[in-house]
Amino acid sequence: MQTTVGIMTEFLENLKYRLELAISGAEVKRVLHGRGGTFPDQDYLNIDYYPPAIFITVFKDVDYSHIINELIKIHGGDRPLIVQERFGRDIKSISLGLELPEVHIVEEHGLKYHVSLKQNQNTGLFLDMKDERSKLMSNSEGKNILNLFSYTCSLSVAAKAGGAKQVVNIDQKKTFLNIGRENHRLNNCDDGVVYKSWDVLKSINQIGKFGPFDKIICDPPSNQGKSFFYKKDYEKIIRRMGSFLKVGGEFVACLNTPFEETSFLRDLFKSEGGKWELVQESFSASEYEELNKQNGLKMCTYRRCE
């Protein structure tokens, strides 16, 4: 049986290998998904690489100085290192090493995205959707796509790179949509892209005027106050927005809460009778190692049958 010291030594060696591998590449990457529970006693942190910066998210009030010391030892202090503490009442950001780029742009699958590691809780690019963006790049030719709760429109960028004819992005926050516009301009794919700062549930009829759609992607926050709560509102979105989908079109329903499994989404589509056929269940990107994949991002893709 390994000692505690032995387990930690093995973990730090693993971390060194993973970080060096990430730094040797040019693209944004989840380096360590501690929250997935596959690393003993490390479920309080995640580590990402947003070139040239290392981004550490800490979820518990524990001593993590040994992690910082190891990271500095690996990269020699020659790049930015940002720690985001997500415990306590307020989110705290700590900067170590070099300064971040004034305009921070990262690449994924050859596409460019604006990110911000210090201004908000979220960075501007959800790395757990990496595999879904890859699918859109290879399966969007000529399609009209609706992107609900679009955030900074990374899925739209991927769909346009994959040849989508039109992508309609809906999000309440204009600031997110403005970043989305810049992301499309970065990639020279801003033709045929619509941005609407609308409340999804209050704007259903207006959204429908851009249809019919070949694909609808719905990736909502689990709780957006009065605007959206998944237990109460998701079924309505599937029922109403689904009517704007072409027969044979696909609805990608996403949910990111540890309190539900894919069965929650499946039950919503089953309540619609025989209108839907399950195409695929999928989860967080492959870099997100999870003891139980159901605890992270869940996606159910359904095809409209009638």
**Segment 204-238, tens digit of pLDDT:** 999 999 999 999 999 998 887 778 889 999 999 99
Using DSSP's 3-state secondary structure scheme, residue 207 falls into helix
Confidence class for position 88, pLDDT limits 50, 70, 90? confident
Whole-angstrom distance, CA of residue 54 vs CA of residue 93: 13
Q: Which two tokens stand for residue 89?
A: 């009442």
Confidence class for position 271, pLDDT limits 50, 70, 90? confident
Q: Give the residue from 263, 237, 254, 259 showing the smallest Cα distance to 299.
A: 254
Q: Kindly state the average pLDDT of the residues 4-19.
A: 85
Q: Give the residue from 175, 194, 51 showing the smallest Cα distance to 113.
A: 51
Q: How does pLDDT run across 23-81, given as a tens digit for each residue?
A: 999 899 999 999 999 988 899 999 999 999 999 999 999 999 999 999 999 887 889 99
Check the CA dihedral 52-147-145-166 and report its sign: negative
Q: Give the residue from 239, 244, 228 showing the smallest Cα distance to 146.
A: 244
Residue ranges, comma separated, of all CATH 3.30.750.80 domains in the chain are: 4-102
- Check whether 272 has a pLDDT greater than 90: no
Is 4-102 a domain of CATH 3.30.750.80? yes
Contact between residue 97 and residue 122 where contact means Cβ atoms under 8 Å apart:
no
Q: How does pLDDT run across 171-198, given as a tens digit for each residue?
A: 999 999 999 999 999 999 999 999 999 9
Whole-angstrom distance, CA of residue 233 vs CA of residue 236: 5
At 2 the pLDDT is: 57
Q: How does pLDDT run across 94-138, given as a tens digit for each residue?
A: 999 999 999 999 999 999 999 999 988 999 999 999 999 999 999
Instruction: Give me the DSSP letters along 36-55.
Output: GS-STT-TTEEEEEETTEEE
Residue ranges, comma separated, of all CATH 3.40.50.150 domains in the chain are: 123-304
Half-sphere exposure of 2 (CA within 13 A, CB side): 9
Whole-angstrom distance, CA of residue 295 vs CA of residue 90: 24
Contact between residue 83 and residue 91 where contact means Cβ atoms under 8 Å apart:
no
- Give the CATH number of domain 123-304: 3.40.50.150
At 222 the pLDDT is: 83
